[in-house]
Amino acid sequence: MSGTRKTALITGAGRNIGRAVALGLAQDGFDVVINGSRDRAACEAVAEEARAHGVRAEVVMGDVGSAPECARIAAEAMVLSGGVDVLVNNAALRPAKPFLEMSEEEWRRVIAVDMDAAVWLSRACLPGMLERGWGRIVNFAGMNAIHGYAGRAPVSVAKHGVWGLTKALAKEFGPHGVTVNAISPGPIAADDPASGEGAAYRAAAVAKVPVGREGTPAEVAAVLRLLVAPGGAYVNGQMLQVNGGAQT
């Protein structure tokens, strides 16, 4: 990278895809701000790994499911780093529950974390990007943004919303040097398999993947690294599917 080193804020960065993104961007020379909601030790461990690449790495804990918290997280990130040039909206909830059994609170919580957080964090970070004439926002949509899944209605609604937000912001802010894209991962191996989906669910998902395996967090991060690199500057308003060819 040329000129002043840029800073990326990554939500949900304590493990899995968020962790891989933070470490990949650190390897590419970005300073990184690591966000998580509960496990500060995991976030601090990621920050320590990132610093091994010679960059600054800070931790800002907070719940992105709250609009005031999103504002605070972004503000603290800017104070620590001097500005946020790359925003990665990765944090998400993926609960499985029958539609008719879901409470209003459960519904709103998923929408808040999976969709609204991208709205409020983008609103907080965009003014600085516009002032500098350069910015990158990458939202995580997932296959829920393409297909509806039984038992995951709020996730599907939220991720469709994220895809709509991505396209709208890409058109509004592309003329000002800010690109906005989405990544849709397929079945991705977790750092700790026990913490993710059950074995039966993962096996059924992999059975639909033509390449015959789960992807890795690093493979997803590699696509994001392209989007924020100079070579990705002409990619805007797109959803890149990283799913081994899965269609359903």
Residue with structure tokens 């799913």?
Answer: 243
DSSP code per residue over 146-159 = TS--TT-HHHHHHH
Please check the confidence at residue 165 and state whether its pLDDT lies above 70: yes
* Average pLDDT over every residue of 108-124: 98
Q: Round to whole Å and give the CA distance between 54 and 239.
A: 31
Q: Which domains does the chain have, with CATH numbers?
A: 7-242 (3.40.50.720)
Q: How confident is the model at residue 201 (pLDDT cuts 50, 70, 90)?
A: confident
87: closest CA among 11, 163, 176? 11
Cα–Cα distances in Å, from 99 out to 4, 95, 151, 152, 205?
Answer: 49, 11, 6, 8, 21
87: closest CA among 161, 182, 223, 159? 182
Q: Round to whole Å and give the CA distance between 25 and 229.
A: 10
Name the pTM for this structure.
0.95
Please check the confidence at residue 207 and state whether its pLDDT lies above 60: yes
Please check the confidence at residue 2 and state whether its pLDDT lies above 50: no
Q: In whole numbers, what is the pLDDT of the chain averaged over residues?
A: 94
CA 11 to chain centre: 6
59 bridge partner residues: 34
Q: How confident is the model at residue 1 (pLDDT cuts 50, 70, 90)?
A: very low
